[in-house]
Amino acid sequence: MENKKAVQLKNFSINNEETAPLTTNQGLKVSEDEFSLKTGLRGPTLMEDFHFREKMTHFDHERIPERVVHARGVGAHGIFQLYESLVEYTKADFLTDTSKTTPVFVRFSTVQGSRGSSDTVRDVRGFATKFYTDEGNFDLVGNNMPVFFIQDAIKFPDFVHALKPEPHTEIPQGASAHDTFWDFIGQNHESAHMVMWVMSDRAIPRSLRMMEGFGVHTFRLINADGEAHFVKFHWKPNLGVHSLVWDEAQRIAGKNPDFHRQDLYEAIEKGDFPEWELGLQVIPEKDEFKFDFDILDPTKLWPEEEVPVKIVGKMTLNRNVDNFFAETEQVAFHPGHVVPGIDFSNDPLLQGRLFSYTDTQLSRLGGPNFHQIPINQPVCPFHNNQRDGMHQMAIHKGQTSYHRNGLNANQPEPAPVELGGYESYQEKIEGRKIRGRSDSFLDFYSQAKLFYNSLTPIEQQHLKDALSFELGKCKSAMVKNNVVALLNRIDRQVAEEVSDHIGAVLPEENLEVKSDKKSSALSMANTVSQTDTKCVAILLNGEVEDAVLTDWIKTLAQFNINYSIVAEKIYTINHFLKVTDTFDTADSSLFDAALFISTSSKVEPPILEFIETSYKHFKPLALAVKDNKALERCRVRLDAPGVYNLSRSDFPPFIEGITQGRFWERPL
């Protein structure tokens, strides 16, 4: 026989800085890595796309045991009550029967950081809801922003790799202010719209109870006659949409990194149950191409002026979990968990998620039986021929475990559609198998401009400040220049201000989108303002009369305003009042307003800092000071908006100030 030299395996080391073709894990050279394989440019993703499946499978199993994204979360139980039947649009039982109360479980989360990161980082917030309906579980797996960074799911591993801590240093944790994230943004202009949202105040919510939720994707509603409507899902918080200011968010991350989860837990424990109303945007199938954007594009929203939001029900979170790991950590959401009357669109990001989520649970929850974990079990019976596997907890009885069978009268057998069996919408599909992007997905900048135009001047300034901060952390001049070039396509003035601040090159030609179009729904200035569940820090300095303090606290209680009494040391004031925090443990960033009560002419620096920081963060500030010398060293303008001198006026104006929340016109 001919001697053949044995193939020697090399030391397995990959240097991605070398010039080399992109390949699969099997060494196959890849000709396209930005688009999954679809039936036509706007058609569904095909299961035969082996490159997408390999790439997504590897990504889904990168980290054990916490989630790859959305690792840091907090959950709560609640109920959903429908206001009016939607039988015109869907046959889903929980959306047509107003007499039913549907149990829900909601998990809020950050996207970037690990389980040990901080709650108040600048980030998208996950907003996932599991409806335990009588027809099975329906999971609405969304975010607090209505759009996303990418259009096709095949790019999701790339986006998250860029967003996560850089692999050579594992820095930074839970933050997007670094080169790889902004390099991705500069190289992928489809992210233009989403990055404006992430740089806005929406990315630093005041509370999980005070943020909107969005299903992000376009779904379908199917009624009993088989008629279809496209739909987007919205959650509208009854407390309104409110945010922190950036300096607050940073201070809170150091003072109380569990701020949001603690806020949610304590609100539910007190009986201040958070509430959201469910809203639907509905488009008839015949109007799919009526708009100047593609309704299947996940980087686009449907402006509420063009497609109004119909409010259809209310969700109330009324019970905290009994065990964080058993419930919040083990809950498994999946956009593919639907019920009759709800179906999918050909949104290419949604199509990829329908594969990815099940694949992720197999690794994270130890096998295919994750649906048997109590938090994931449906409330209705379930029967099938799936058997064994890791962590099998059910004891299946009987001889058969296959379909069709004669030994068990073909049980369990498929349910006819008229008896509740699920039937996919029979959409007609035509097209060549292709990797690519529909031309209708190519407008990356118009809605980014719409969002920016819709903000108030103070919101716009916050957005520019955020861009300057984030890009100012980048080391690469190329990365900075590329992002400024992107901003130049959205708004020239933004590009000018940011480039000047970070020392980047401003393109000579102004390429901004020429549009003054606005949407009032996109500005938080138009949200609900109220006192409910806000928290006031009552700062004590000197000997304070019990009766005066008691009267003010009773007034706060009338408006459902919470409070904490802060002093130099913890002590009992009377039989129902106690100092709960000291100036060492409390911080102004943890409260919505401050009331300073002083009978002494001497004020220590920690108290002055507390007052001055409340003022700097534009919060309402009430002062009840017997000796004016107490404020001589305080850098607060007593005549500024939102500053109330309780020695010259009564308490109601301070309550009105708490309702307003921020006084942006205040001089600093």
Residue spans of the domains in the chain: they are 69-355, 441-525, 529-660
What value does the mean pLDDT take over residues 599-621?
94
Tokens of 173: 């944790």
Torsion of CA 80, 84, 90, 91, to 10 degrees: 80
Q: Looking at the annotation, which residues are catalytic?
A: 70, 143
- Tell me which amino acid residue 622 is: A
Contacts for 466 with CB less than 8 Å, ≥ 6 apart: 122, 199, 200, 203, 246
Nearest to 541 by CA among 606, 605, 582, 597: 597
**Tally: H helices and E strands in the chain:** 14, 18
Is 398 in a helix, a strand, or coil?
A: coil
Residue 64: pLDDT above 60?
A: no
Residue-averaged pLDDT of the chain: 92
Bridging pattern class, strands 219-222 and 275-284: unpaired
Does the pTM surpass 0.75? The reply is yes
Nearest to 466 by CA among 195, 120, 213: 195
- pLDDT at position 394, please? 83
Bridging pattern class, strands 562-567 and 535-541: parallel
Percent of the chain with pLDDT over 70: 97
Nearest to 476 by CA among 502, 501, 454, 458: 502
- Tell me which amino acid residue 475 is: K
Distance in angstroms (rounded) separating the CA atoms of residues 283 and 228:
9
Q: Which of 1-5, 163-167, 607-611, 652-656 has the lowest mean pLDDT?
A: 1-5
Helix (H) or strand (E) holding 57: helix 50-60
Q: How confident is the model at residue 30 (pLDDT cuts 50, 70, 90)?
A: confident
Bridging pattern class, strands 275-284 and 310-320: antiparallel
- pLDDT at position 545, please? 84
What value does the mean pLDDT take over residues 404-417?
87
**CATH no. of 441-525:** 1.20.1370.20
654 vs 15 pLDDT, higher one: 654
Distance in angstroms (rounded) separating the CA atoms of residues 418 and 424:
14
Q: How confident is the model at residue 47 (pLDDT cuts 50, 70, 90)?
A: confident
Q: How confident is the model at residue 1 (pLDDT cuts 50, 70, 90)?
A: very low
- Per residue in 203-256, pLDDT tens? 999 999 999 999 999 999 999 999 999 999 999 999 999 999 999 999 999 999
- Per residue in 478-513, pLDDT tens? 999 999 999 999 999 999 999 999 999 999 999 999
Q: How confident is the model at residue 21 (pLDDT cuts 50, 70, 90)?
A: confident
Cis peptide before 65 (omega within 30 of 0): yes
- Per residue in 528-562, pLDDT tens? 999 999 999 999 998 888 888 998 999 999 999 99
- Per residue in 440-471, pLDDT tens? 999 999 999 999 999 999 999 999 999 999 99
Q: Answer yes or no: are the C-beta atoms of 74 and 208 closer than 8 Å.
A: yes
Q: Which of 18-27, 240-249, 307-316, 406-415 has the lowest mean pLDDT?
A: 18-27
Tell me which of 3.40.50.10190, 3.40.50.880, 2.40.37.10, 1.10.10.10 is the CATH number of domain 529-660: 3.40.50.880
Distance in angstroms (rounded) separating the CA atoms of residues 256 and 270:
20
Q: How confident is the model at residue 71 (pLDDT cuts 50, 70, 90)?
A: very high
- pLDDT at position 648, please? 65
Q: Answer yes or no: are the C-beta atoms of 252 and 228 closer than 8 Å.
A: no
What value does the mean pLDDT take over residues 621-636?
88
- pLDDT at position 412, please? 85
Is 361 in a helix, a strand, or coil?
A: helix
Distance in angstroms (rounded) separating the CA atoms of residues 141 and 159:
19
Tokens of 601: 């002419």
Cis peptide before 172 (omega within 30 of 0): yes
- Per residue in 320-379, pLDDT tens? 999 998 899 999 999 999 999 999 999 999 999 999 998 888 888 988 888 889 999 988
Distance in angstroms (rounded) separating the CA atoms of residues 487 and 494:
7
- Count Cβ atoms below 10 Å from residue 407 Cβ, excluding itself: 10
Q: How confident is the model at residue 403 (pLDDT cuts 50, 70, 90)?
A: confident
Q: Answer yes or no: are the C-beta atoms of 270 and 256 closer than 8 Å.
A: no
- pLDDT at position 65, please? 77
Distance in angstroms (rounded) separating the CA atoms of residues 251 and 590:
9
E-state strands within 528-638:
535-541, 562-567, 581-582, 593-598, 621-625
Is 621 in a helix, a strand, or coil?
A: strand
Tokens of 224: 């009993």
Identify the CATH homologous superfamily for domain 69-355: Catalase core domain (2.40.180.10)
Distance in angstroms (rounded) separating the CA atoms of residues 331 and 106:
9
Backbone angles phi, psi at 306, to 5 degrees: -95, -35
- Ranges of H-type helices in 76-117: none
- Which DSSP state fits 250? H
Q: Say if residue 132 is exposed, middle or buried (CB neighbours under 10 Å; 0-12, 13-18, 19+).
A: buried
7 vs 201 pLDDT, higher one: 201
- pLDDT at position 524, please? 97
Is 45 in a helix, a strand, or coil?
A: strand
